[in-house]
Each structure stands twice: as C-alpha cells, then as structure tokens.
Amino acid sequence: MSLRDAIEGITDGLKGVVLGSVILMLAMTIGNLSKEAGGGIFLVELLGDRIPYWLLPVILQIMTIVIAFSTGTSWGTYAVSFPLAMPLAYAVATAHGLEHPMFFMTICFAAVMDGSVYGDQCSPISDTTVLSSMCCGCDLMDHVKTQIPQASVAALIAGLLWTACAFLFA
C-alpha cells in the first residue's frame, strides 16, 4: 500500500467517526441539560409514590422505544432517559419499601437499555439500520419491515419478564 492510499484511508475513516462523535457529544449535552434542568427530580416528585412498582420497568421500556424509534439513536436515548429513569426507579423502590431496591433498579436499567436498542434497531432513520440495509443491498423500508416482527416479539417477551421479575423478586 502506498503512503497516499494509507493517508486517504485514514482520512476516510476519520470522516466516518466524526458524525458518530458529534451525535454522541450532542446526546451527552442533552443528557446534561436534562439533569441540570431537574427532570429526574420533577418526575420523582410527580410520580414517585403513584406508580405501581411492578409496572415501572415496562413503562420505561415503552418510553425508550418511542424515543429511540423517533430519534434513531440508542445512545441519545440513554443520555435522555437515564437521568430521568434511575432517580424515579429509586424513588419508586423506596416509596413501596421494596426488599431488594438495587435489584429493582437493575431491572429498570435493563428495561431502558432494552427499549433504547429496540427503537434504534427498528427505526428507519437510525444510522445502523440505514447502513445495514445499504450493505445488504436491500431497500431500507423492506429491511425495517422484516426487522420489526422479530424485534417486537423479543421486546414483548422482555417486557413481560421485566414485569414478572419486578413483581416476584423485587
């Protein structure tokens, strides 16, 4: 490989990384703004003792599915959701006097991760969905349509299991 080809390869590689870096930076900025604005504290005061504890994981899962599908990013969804979800999960666990609050928070953490990845992988505006359809040489919407049924079954099973684990073991 010539020096010129190596430099062109490095330049092309950096171009691909810049967009992802900007997206992650903006996601962290949104997360910090949400944290500084007190969104988590607001949710704790509003809903902390009103939500049935066994229902919170699936609510978080559905919320993050909608956010990630709408924005096309799981990392951005993490940045927005975690500062809201984790204080709320702790407040709900405390308000209901759960025997294992850290296990309950782990379930809520996993539900946020699950919903974020589902929404990102099924979103037609997600970079991973666009790139995987391009690499396979198939139409973007065909790729999305074939991905949604299997991912939805997995998300439904996960939601049922999050609810059952929270109800039975937390």
From 66, 166, 58, select the one nearest 116 (Cα to Cα): 66
- Domain boundaries of the chain, sorted by first residue: 3-169
CA 94 to chain centre: 24
The residues, any chain, with a CB within 8 Å of residue 134's CB and separated by 6 or more, are 140
Cβ atoms within 10 Å, residue 47:
15
Cβ atoms within 10 Å, residue 114:
21
State how far the alpha carbon of 80 is from the alpha carbons of 9, 32, 84, in Å: 34, 8, 7
Question: What are 60-73's pLDDT values in tens digits?
Answer: 999 899 888 888 88
Here the tokens at position 5 are 């080809």
What single-letter amino acid sits at 125?
A: I
Question: What are 114-137's pLDDT values in tens digits?
Answer: 999 998 888 887 777 877 777 777
Rounded CA separation 35/7 (Å): 41
Per-residue pLDDT band for 53 (boundaries 50, 70, 90) equals: confident
Q: What is the pLDDT of residue 100?
A: 87
